[in-house]
Chain A
Amino acid sequence: MKAEGINFALVGVGGQGTILASDVLAELGLKLGYDVKKAEVHGMSQRGGSVTSHLRWGARVYSPIIPRGEADVLVAFEKLEAARFIDSIKPGGLVLVNDYAIEPLSVQTTGVPYPGDEELRERLLQVTPHAYWVKGVEIAQSLGNTRAANVVLLGALSALLDLEESQWEAVLEMRVPAKHLKLNLKAFRAGREAVAAGVGARQDRDR
């Protein structure tokens, strides 16, 4: 882990649980002894709009916002949002993409097409060799609830960041309502295993 801290950008669509994921990362940072800032923008619509959360760990964190090109980690809960925030990634940074599309209404009203996977893959590779794709929704569905996809992604992130599992789980216990905890712990472990086993998750490399 980098002593100077980590900048996380979390992006997704309203209703995907981006905020909970950033809450967990904020508490974890605090637990690990960092100063922490977590900034989120509540947009105009309750569901269906872009949601962005900036999470910074450091010895002393000032700005709540991560400037473009300075995110060490981008977690995208939706593919189009990964594309939209591709310039937020620090070259060589870590990218985790939930392999899941939520088509915005504008695709129908304006005719601008949803970007293809191949194009996104190519563009991500130009920025960093560390881009991982996780089938978060599929994995969560196999556990019984697609809404746990955000925690599947957190599990995958925990494996990639090489932080102790128990610390993450302690924070999950703190932030997740008791009745959903069992499912979320399962989702977390499934995400972690997916990265370790390369099942439901894969890293893009230059071909």
Chain B
Amino acid sequence: MKRLLSGNEAVARAAWEAGVKVGSGYPGTPSTEILEAFAPYPGVYAEWAPNEKVGLDVAVGAAYAGRRAFATMKHVGLNVASDAFFAVAMTGIEAGLVVVSADDPSMHSSQNEQDNRQFAKFARIPCMDPADSQDTHDLTLAAFDLSEQFDTPVLLRMTTRVCHTSSPVELGEQRINLPEPGKYPRNLTKYCMVPANAQKRHPAIEERMGEIAEYAETFAGNHIEWRSSDLGIITGGVAYNYARDVFPEASVLKLGMVYPLPQKMIREFASRVQKLIVLEELDPFIEDQVRLMGISLYHPEELLPAPSPYPMTKGIFPIAGELDPAVVRLSGRQAGLLPLADAGGAAQPMTGLPIRPPVLCPGCPHRSSFYVLHKLGVPVNGDIGCYTLGMVQPLDALHTVGCMGASVGVAHGAAVAGDKERHVAVIGDSTFFHSAIPALINVAYNRSNVITIIMDNRVTGMTGHQDNPGTGRTLQHKETKEIEIEPLVKAMGFEKVLTLPAFDVAAIEKTLKEWLKSDEPGVLITREECALLPSARNRWLPLEVVSDKCNGCTLCFRVGCPAILKSDVLDSKTNRPLALIDPVLCTGCEICAQICPRDAILFRNQVQNRKTAQEVAQ
């Protein structure tokens, strides 16, 4: 049976077919939907872990216990999980273990563009790199078999276009029936990586990679498509599609497993084509290995720029940004592989259009804190989540964003370095549980004066509403113990701990002003449900502007709410446009109503009263 599946759904389906018992991970675009799609299958256990390292440790634990398992994360999640990743590379497993990492070329929703195939080489772990959903399904199944055959974890490296593209998949009939595992292993030389054991394991790991490289020669996921011998393309991952679209006549060596490489297959392919190129996204990962084999790649020096002294350089295709047929075609033309473009024909882009960058949604509970922080003018160290958008004009209230959990440590660093200004760290609930707890312990332990705002919107927002330890619900939306932030923070050693309703602009401002005067650390929790949660949506009530009170002072525009517009009506005295509230977008959070100096924006109860009065009048 063929079904339309996204790459993420294909991983989930194949994991189920492969008899996987345990899936754990942390949400992160573009990987999030994998676990969400896996969780409803019968006979599986799936969970959101607080972070990727915990998620991978859990999967490792299941695989040690003889049950097939996988962990899912976005590319930067593997940085967090890398300690566990390197550790399990050394020990191997009792049952199949696959680590799914989704790279984000072009950084559609990420802070960097790291190519996680490099992690495979770094840790000595084989790596699968699928091209579409069917390929993902097949390579995921193969990954579990490979894992057990060679006693190794396997990295399944996805990319945004594979994760979020749907294409038909021929589904396997059913779930493999795996035998009940034996007793938990007591194999100290394999599973206790103390120096004496690790020193023996390392050469065995190197030997294992040699065996897998041999296996790669006949692995079904690696194959050659012979067409014209003029041009041969070695490719893997999503780039395979671009090779087929842009160079339909070329012979192609398609690598489903990009590490370790099938060297004999590559030599055979190279010897039978006139020109050989490597087409891959991001780093010259395959390209460098092929060069190291002493194989020369097509490189017309007269057409291409002189090679850079920097060793990580690609011959023909760009190293940064995702590829697409247009990019590949352009590079192909520059390298003399394709005829030059025909003149004209295509539409020119329209220039000078207003941009539509991501913004905090109307009714977002993060908005009020950023409005206050902007007003206070303090340096704010930010973190990863929706609230990163606090940096956007006109809120303009965030000065650093690096990686998950960095806000608190970065603010502490500035404080202990003696920066003259007081620092505020801003972090969301899910990111707090992910990696800010040790950083906050550090603030309390080493007594810097950092003020931390935990913006608790009761959900992991940016990735599309996942539950986390603070929501009181599991991945399956079942009720569970809700981990309370306040007692946790108090137990760390903070005396100043206060929770405020996130929409209370005046209280947030008053508290921050007071705390900034003292020299103590503090943790302010601003709490309000994400405006897009179903329970919050039920409370939406658009506010209204009283046009004879508004004089176009523009103060309400400074909250940066997409629901507040400039109307066509000008104030007779100030000659400035009056404010207008878009009833489709406004949720009635009242931030604008609170800051309006002329009471020109009606509060919810006023809107309600007005409606009731109108109904009565009718």
Q: State the Cβ distance, A78 to closest chain B Cβ, in Å.
A: 9
A79 to B394, CA, bound (A): 25
Task: Please report whether the interface of chain B is mostly helix, strand, loop or mixed according to DSSP.
Answer: loop
B residues less than 8 Å from A80 (CB atoms): 353-354, 356
B4 adjacent to A27 (CB under 8 Å): yes
Q: Decide: A68 near B326, CB < 8 A? Known: A30-B4, A37-B132, A48-B359.
A: yes
Interface string of B349-369 (1 = CB under 8 A from A): 110111111111110000000
A42 adjacent to B562 (CB under 8 Å): no
Q: State the Cβ distance, A59 to closest chain B Cβ, in Å.
A: 12
A109 within 8 A of B: yes
B244 within 8 A of A: yes
Interface segment among B162-170, B432-440, B504-512, B589-597: the answer is B162-170
Q: State the Cβ distance, A173 to closest chain B Cβ, in Å.
A: 16
> Which of B348, B354, B359 touches A45 (beta carbons < 8 Å)?
B359
List which A84-128 residues lie within 8 A (CB) of chain B.
Answer: 84, 86-87, 89, 91, 103-110, 112-115, 123, 126-127
Interface size in chain B (residues, C-beta < 8 A): 56
A residues less than 8 Å from B326 (CB atoms): 67-68
B152 within 8 A of A: no
Q: Which of A43, A45, A113, A126 has the most CB of B within 10 A?
A: A45
A residues less than 8 Å from B30 (CB atoms): 42
Q: State the Cβ distance, A198 to closest chain B Cβ, in Å.
A: 26
Q: State the Cβ distance, A98 to closest chain B Cβ, in Å.
A: 14
B residues less than 8 Å from A69 (CB atoms): 345-347
B241 within 8 A of A: yes
B608 within 8 A of A: no
Query: A112's closest neighbor in chain B, by CB?
Result: B354
B4 adjacent to A49 (CB under 8 Å): no
Query: B345's closest neighbor in chain A, by CB?
Result: A91
> Which of B348, B464, B557, B584 touches A42 (beta carbons < 8 Å)?
B464
A36 adjacent to B4 (CB under 8 Å): yes
B393 within 8 A of A: yes
A87 adjacent to B167 (CB under 8 Å): no
A44 adjacent to B358 (CB under 8 Å): yes
B residues less than 8 Å from A38 (CB atoms): 4, 165-167
B462 within 8 A of A: yes
A residues less than 8 Å from B164 (CB atoms): 39-42
A105 adjacent to B562 (CB under 8 Å): yes
A46 to B362, CA, bound (A): 11
A123 adjacent to B350 (CB under 8 Å): yes
Q: State the Cβ distance, B135 to closest chain A Cβ, in Å.
A: 11
Q: Decide: A63 near B166, CB < 8 A? Known: A48-B358, A83-B353, A115-B350.
A: no
B residues less than 8 Å from A115 (CB atoms): 350, 353
A87 adjacent to B325 (CB under 8 Å): no
A26 within 8 A of B: yes
B168 adjacent to A64 (CB under 8 Å): no
A61 adjacent to B167 (CB under 8 Å): yes
Query: A49's closest neighbor in chain B, by CB?
Result: B358
Q: Decide: A67 near B347, CB < 8 A? Known: A42-B464, A45-B386, A49-B359.
A: no
B contacts, CB < 8 Å to A: 2, 4, 29-30, 108-109, 132, 160-161, 164-168, 238, 240-242, 244-245, 324-326, 329, 345-350, 352-362, 386, 388-389, 393-394, 461-462, 464, 532, 557, 560, 562, 565-566, 584
A contacts, CB < 8 Å to B: 13, 26-27, 30, 35-50, 61-65, 67-69, 80-81, 83-84, 86-87, 89, 91, 103-110, 112-115, 123, 126-127, 146
Q: Can you name 13 A-B residue pairings with CB atoms under 8 Å?
A: A37-B165, A38-B165, A40-B164, A48-B362, A49-B356, A50-B356, A63-B241, A65-B325, A84-B356, A86-B347, A104-B357, A105-B359, A123-B347
* 9 extra interface residue pairs, beta carbon distance < 8 Å, beyond A35-B168, A65-B325: A30-B168, A36-B167, A41-B160, A43-B109, A44-B358, A63-B324, A80-B356, A113-B354, A127-B347
